[in-house]
Amino acid sequence: MKTTATSNYNGSPNESSSCCRDNYEKNYEEVAVIGNGAYGTVYKAKDLKNNGNFVAMKSIRISNTEEGMPMSAVREIALLKHLEKSEHPNIVRLLDVRHSQLTDTEIRLKLVFEYIDQDLSTYLERCPSPGLGPYKIADLMHQLVEGVDFLHINRIVHRDLKPQNILITSEGQLKLADFGLARTYSFQMALTSVVVTLWYRAPEVLLQGQYATPVDLWSCGCIFAELFNRRPLFCGQSDIDQLIKIFEAIGLPPQSDWPDVSLPWTSFKKVPPKPLEKYVPEIDHKAKDLLERLLTFNHHRRITASEVLNHAYFKEDLDSIRTSSSLSTSESDSFDTGSRSDTPVSK
């Protein structure tokens, strides 16, 4: 479904075409809350104009400005609409944008997304023993990096990649969601460090250094390992503890690689790298090479999304991988077709 409001959005906060202002209750019926976060509440809702199909609706209360809708909200809508124009198969679809005036100083913004009832975290929890299998892991990883590569080509850093923000359809299609923290970039940036869930944060984020697209590839590496293990790779309790756990695995980097940050290299114990097989026992040598390139401390030397897609790990024909992946899934318990009422699409 594409509405006139969304297809005509041009990024201007004062033009009525940017968002529909009519009463959203006439078009959508809220069914249940499926997520709460710092950036708003997400509802499961029925699209009353489209046969009652389910959608996910992100509701945000925004303080008004003298000029109308604040530019931060306009930028988020413009970002989402910019992505939607390409209809990338691995990016969650934005279907509609609506807003209503709550008070003289507050606006309620509604972003309506396609509804997908399960995230990667739930998918892995439901996966029966002995696990996903090599073809399914390769399929999901390729889809994940296809989505990330699309973002990076469009000069967008997601900055919050984690299993809870990766959706899986009943057909096994992976879609990236929750761009509440995404920003377009034009150069290396020193941005807030509170962006990615602790376990998926890149070292440069934990050290509060400069960063850009490589932070997403570090997160992809953590998720890649989780596809094998069905549990997070590094489970730190604080930024420092997370760094310690990372260095215990990959080793303390040479001092020459240490960024110009307030926390000195000497704060950490010198430890050599350990074999990644210790952390991901089922990994094969090509997957291990890819994981090592993703979990590279120096973000200037970390593999890019486009390089990942050309890695030897994906040398097999993708159609063969996905055919084998589908057969493997159909022969196992149908763990990927259930619903979960608390799965957020966007926060």
Hey, which residues are catalytic here? 160
Which token pair is 64? 């008004």
Nearest residue to 282 (alpha-carbon basis) of 210, 346, 326, 227: 227
Helix/strand number for the chain, H first, E second? 10, 9
Please check whether residue 1 is in contact with residue 312, taking contact to mean a CB–CB distance below 8 angstroms.
Answer: no
DSSP category for residue 107: E
Cis ω on the peptide bond leading into residue 130 (within 30° of 0)?
Answer: yes
167-194 as b/e: b if 16+ CB within 10 A? bbeeebebbbbbbbbbbebeeeeebeee
How many CB atoms sit inside 10 A of residue 237's CB?
10
How many CB atoms sit inside 10 A of residue 308's CB?
24
**From CA 286, how far away is CA 290, in angstroms rounded?**
6
